[in-house]
Amino acid sequence: MALSVAGVIEPTLQAAEIRRSADRPTGNLTAYDLYLRALAALFPITRERTLDALGLLEQAIVIDRHYGPALSWAAFCHGRLVSERWTEEPEISRRKAADLARQALQAGENDPGILANAAHVLAYFGEDIGAMIGLVDRALALNPSFARGWNVSGTLRVWAGQPDVAIEHVETSLRLSPRERMGTPLFNIGVAYFFKRRFEEAASKLVLSMQADPGFPPSYRALAACYAHMGRLDEAREIVAKLRSITPLIVPSDVQFRNPEHRELFLSGLRLAMGEET
């Protein structure tokens, strides 16, 4: 009961702080205000929102270069720019993402939010998945009611090839905070079901994920691959067409799935959806 209450209160308080900050003139903002404005700007994720949030976070870091939360979210933003090819200088953003994540860990090694963000970014760029899961486990030990931490843990478990654990952890996240950024948790559950080859359940979750966060490209990729493996090729190609309006990157160059069978299931589905031979 206590965990459920804490999980609901934390995002509610943060949302109130974001609304309060957003009403202030930009010239009067402190580093914390800039940080809150960045969170308000970032979700739901689009290229424009990511760039806006990153600009605010960079201002906060100029004010306080040891501001761990701002460093960790700036790392996240750079990671998103790379993952969706939303930057003309991906190698620079890739390097900045990893550097900022490590700086954030040095600034706040006992902050659950920093641990979760840094683990997500560093795992995306190829750091040892077991070590990154360890960082998230530490975040959850520090704050068991940390809903986003449970969702990040689900993400990393999907990447590690542990779909059952991923579903369990994301469902814990949703129990703690049912309305918290629904698109990404539903995406994680959908991909986990996809890797279990329970395609009907996967597709239903991925459709809901797209509806909750229509600017999130990974949902489109996973749904297109899922439809393709179900033999619903016309629908798969419709999803690919929608994806092209969001990002030029259809098949990502970096695929985080460490399990070779899972990676091939995903990529072969995308190739089918694009009308290519497998």
Residue-wise pLDDT tens digits, 163-199 = 999 999 999 999 998 766 556 899 999 999 999 999 9
DSSP string covering the chain: -HHHHHHHHHHHHHHHHHHHHHTS-GGG--HHHHHHHHHHHHSS--HHHHHHHHHHHHHHHHH-TT-HHHHHHHHHHHHHHHHTT--S-HHHHHHHHHHHHHHHHHH-TT-HHHHHHHHHHHHHTT--HHHHHHHHHHHHHH-TT-HHHHHHHHHHHHHHT-HHHHHHHHHHHHHH-TTSSTHHHHHHHHHHHHHTT-HHHHHHHHHHHHHH-TT-HHHHHHHHHHHHHTT-HHHHHHHHHHHHTT-S-SS-S-----SHHHHHHHHHHHHHHTT---
The pLDDT of residue 255 is: 87
The pLDDT of residue 230 is: 97
| Domains, in order of start, for the chain | 1-180 (1.25.40.10), 182-278 (1.25.40.10)
The tens-digit pLDDT sequence of the chain (278 residues) is 555 545 545 555 455 444 443 333 333 358 999 999 998 888 777 889 999 999 999 999 999 999 999 999 999 999 989 988 888 888 999 999 999 999 999 998 889 999 999 999 999 999 999 999 999 999 999 999 999 999 999 999 999 999 999 999 999 999 998 766 556 899 999 999 999 999 999 999 999 999 988 888 899 999 999 999 999 999 999 999 999 998 888 888 778 999 999 999 999 999 999 986 44
pLDDT in tens, 194-209: 999 999 999 999 999 9
